[in-house]
Homo-oligomer: A and B are copies of this chain.
Amino acid sequence: MRMAELSRASGVPVATIKYYLREELLPAGERTSPNQASYDDSHVRRLRLIRAMLDTGGLSVAAAKEVVAALDAPDLGIHQVLGVAQRALISVRDDVTPADREWASERVEALARDRDWHVKPGEPSTDSLVAILATFRELGREQLLEHFLDSYARVADELARVDLHSLGDGPAESTVETMVVASVLTDALLAALRKVAQVNASARRFEGDGLSR
């Protein structure tokens, strides 16, 4: 199909498609003449994935490029691609004070012992967890953190099993793309579900009973 049809099929404006081509987020079409190229269903699918990464996942264009490059690299294993997708989703504050960082690192190590996790300092997922724990402390909310941390960590383990289990399904060749979709969309899915659940729990507890603060 031509560019205009690709735009109709994907719902993405032509100018945006051209931008994604320039940024190498979208592979070039097959050239059919000096001014024309032909696109196929793989381009439609890729465009939808790009929109999901940018709009729903909140990735930057640079981060989405890294994910797309990993997706297209033939010799990366599943665990490596998961690492790339995760790094793209993670942003780590770099202005944490040494004292807060040390406190948070010790807390993460204790948590890892409890849950039998191997955490490596320098790994983006570990660093981001340390930075978030440090933020609770900065805000003087260590006690609040203690309320959440163990339940949240247990739930995170439970969800990681659900996530990996889901990879067993579907055609094998799409496992890696499935994993990327899952990484990008499930943070957003869980955040949205939690908000619906919170509104309901909060309405039951606080609304209409005249409780003010």
Contact = CB atoms under 8 A, between A and B. Distances in A.
A197 interface: yes
Interface in A73-119: 77-79, 82-83, 86, 89-90, 93, 95, 97, 112, 115, 117-119
A171 to B, nearest CB: 11
Contacts of A61: none
Which of A90, A158, A200 has the most chain B CB within a 10 Å cutoff? A200
Contacts of A182: 144, 148
Contact of A135 (B52, B90, B147, B198): B52
Contacts of A123: 199
Contact of A11 (B97, B125, B162): B97
Looking at chain A's contact residues, is the secondary structure mostly helix, strand, loop, or mixed? helix
A182 to B, nearest CB: 6
A117 B193 CA distance: 11
Nearest to A120: B199
Interface of A: 11, 45, 48-49, 51-52, 55-56, 58, 77-79, 82-83, 86, 89-90, 93, 95, 97, 112, 115, 117-119, 123-126, 128-129, 131-133, 135-136, 138-141, 143-145, 147-149, 151-153, 155-166, 169-170, 172-173, 175-176, 178, 181-183, 185-203, 205-207, 211-213
